[in-house]
Amino acid sequence: MNETRHITIDEFDYPLSDERIAKFPLAERDSSKLLLYRGGEVSEDTFSSLPEHLPSGALVVFNNTRVIQARLHFRKETGALIEVFCLEPLAPNEYVQMFAQTGQCGWLCLVGNLKKWKEGALSREITVRDHTLTLTATRGESIGTGHRVTFAWDDATVTFAEVLEAVGELPIPPYLNRKTEESDKQTYQTVYSKIKGSVAAPTAGLHFTERVLQALDSKGVERDEVTLHVGAGTFKPVKSAEIGDHEMHSEYIVVERGTIEKLLAHDGEAIAVGTTSVRTLESLYYIGVLISRCPDATEERLRVTQWMPYEEENNRLSTLEALRHILDYLDRHELPALHTNTQIMIAPGYTFHIVRRIVTNFHQPKSTLLLLVSAFVKGDWRKIYDYALSHDFRFLSYGDSSLLVP
C-alpha cells in the first residue's frame, strides 16, 4: 500500500486547453468518437459501433442513477443571492424517503455566498401544481465543507421531489464554464436513468441510445444496472502532492440481489459503463470480505473505506467467494438489495476483481478518475490520452468515449 500512497499526482497531468472541453453534446448521442484500447494498441471507431467490440455473452453493467435539480437559489431582502446546493440527504437519510418527504426535510448542502447568510431563514415563493407556497431554508451546523440545511414548505401534499422539480437547477459540471440551459435537463441524463440522487451524471452513459442498447441485446450481450449516486466530490481535485493525503469522497450505492446472481453466473466478471459502475462493482468484492469477517454486520458497517483494497489481508478471497458471501447475507437478512456507501480509491497498485473492460470518457488532469484509468491499463494512460489529444477527441462530460481492454 505504501507505494500507492506515495504516488505523486503531478505524474497524472496533461495539457487540456479550454477548447478541447466539449461545452455541449453532439446532436446524436451515439455519433461521438470511440477510442479503442486493446492490450496496448490504440485505434478509433464511432460509439454506435460499440456492440461490435464486445463479446457475445458478456455482462455489461450500467449506473442507473438520475441527476437531481440540486441547486436552489434564494434572494435576501438586501438583494444578496444565496445558492444552496443539495449534496446528500440527512433527515430522512434515505434517498427514496427523502424525495417522498412532505412539509420538511434536512440536507447536507454547500452554500454559495455564505458570508451573506449569517443567520435567519431564507424564503421564496414557488409554484407547484398551480399552487403557490413558501419554501424556507434554515442553516444549521457545519459538516465538513458543507452545512446542514432544513427546508420547509407550507403544503403537506407537495413532496420534496416536486419542490426540486419546480425550482431546482440541474448542476452541470463547473468546468463547462456556462449556465445550465433547458436542453441540459435532457442531454445531461442517460436514457436509462431511473433512481434520483446524483448531483453529477455518470457521463460514460450519456453516449448510449435505445439503438445501441438494442444492438447490445441483438449481439447477446446481457445488461444489468447498479445505482451509485454521484456526489460533488467527483469533481474534487487532488490538491495534495501525494495521493495518500487525499481524502476520497464517499458515495451511496445500491446493488440488487439479482445483480449478484448475474455476476456469479458470469464467473464474477463484468464490463463497466463508467467509473461509477467500476467503483460500485469493485466495492462488492470488499463488501464480501467484510461480511466474511462479520456475517451479521449492519449495512452501515459494510462501507468500503479508501485504503482497504491495499491491505494484503483484504485480498485473500476469490471473487466468487466474496460474491457468495453477499448473496448469503442478503438471504439471511431477507434483503432484496444491498444499500451501503463506498469510499474506494482505485489507483495504480490496485488489483481488479470484477471489471474486465471499461467504457469511459476522458477525464480531467490530476483527477482520481485518471488514477483509476491508469490502474486499469497498467500505467499506459498517456498513450491513450496522447492519441485522443492528437486525433481531435472531445474531452470531459459531454466529450467522446473510450473502450478500455487491458
Q: What is the pLDDT of residue 325?
A: 98
| 116 and 247 inside one domain | no
Residue 200 in domain? yes
Please give the Cα distance from 272 to 270 (Å, whole number): 6
Q: What is the pLDDT of residue 1?
A: 57
Please report which confidence band the pLDDT of residue 95 belongs to, taking 50, 70 and 90 as the band edges.
Answer: very high
- Structural domain containing residue 212: 2-66+187-405
Mean pLDDT, the chain, rounded, equals 95
Residue 391 belongs to domain with CATH number:
3.40.1780.10
| 117 and 218 inside one domain | no
| 290 and 358 inside one domain | yes
Q: How many domains does the chain have?
A: 2
3-state secondary structure of 181: coil
Residue 312 in domain? yes
| 220 and 255 inside one domain | yes
The x, y and z cell numbers of residue 372, run together, are 483509476
Q: What is the pLDDT of residue 158?
A: 95
158-196 pLDDT, tens digit each: 999 999 999 999 999 989 999 999 999 999 999 999 999
Q: What is the pLDDT of residue 233?
A: 77
Beta carbons of 212 and 30 less than 8 angstroms apart: yes
Residue 162 in domain? yes
Please give the Cα distance from 361 to 26 (Å, whole number): 14
| 194 and 294 inside one domain | yes
Please give the Cα distance from 400 to 394 (Å, whole number): 5
**Residue range 62-82: mean pLDDT, rounded:** 94
φ, ψ dihedrals at 165, nearest 5°:
-65, -35
Beta carbons of 66 and 189 less than 8 angstroms apart: yes
Burial degree of 375 (CB within 10 A; 0-12, 13-18, 19+): buried
Residue 229 in domain? yes
296-326 pLDDT, tens digit each: 999 999 999 999 999 999 999 999 999 999 9
Please give the Cα distance from 210 to 131 (Å, whole number): 37
Beta carbons of 208 and 48 less than 8 angstroms apart: no
| 116 and 14 inside one domain | no
Burial degree of 131 (CB within 10 A; 0-12, 13-18, 19+): exposed
| 35 and 81 inside one domain | no
- What is the value of pTM for the model shown? 0.94
Residue 226 in domain? yes
| 57 and 74 inside one domain | no
Residue 176 in domain? no
250-304 pLDDT, tens digit each: 999 999 999 999 999 999 999 999 999 999 999 999 999 999 999 999 999 999 9
Please report which confidence band the pLDDT of residue 144 belongs to, taking 50, 70 and 90 as the band edges.
Answer: confident
Residue 175 in domain? no
Please report which confidence band the pLDDT of residue 118 belongs to, taking 50, 70 and 90 as the band edges.
Answer: confident
Please report, for residues 21, 335, 381, 401, the alpha-carbon distance to residue 331 in angstroms, rounded to integers and kept in the order given.
46, 6, 41, 38
Beta carbons of 12 and 370 less than 8 angstroms apart: yes
| 136 and 53 inside one domain | no
227-262 pLDDT, tens digit each: 999 987 777 789 999 999 999 989 999 999 999 999
Please report which confidence band the pLDDT of residue 32 belongs to, taking 50, 70 and 90 as the band edges.
Answer: very high
| 236 and 312 inside one domain | yes
Q: What is the pLDDT of residue 234?
A: 73
344-357 pLDDT, tens digit each: 999 999 999 999 99
Residue 181 in domain? no
Beta carbons of 401 and 34 less than 8 angstroms apart: yes
| 34 and 90 inside one domain | no
β-sheet bridge partners, residue 74 = 82
Q: Which of 254, 261, 228 is nearest to 328 (CA)?
A: 261
Burial degree of 334 (CB within 10 A; 0-12, 13-18, 19+): exposed
| 142 and 253 inside one domain | no
φ, ψ dihedrals at 103, nearest 5°:
85, -45
The x, y and z cell numbers of residue 11, run together, are 505524474
Q: What is the pLDDT of residue 156?
A: 87
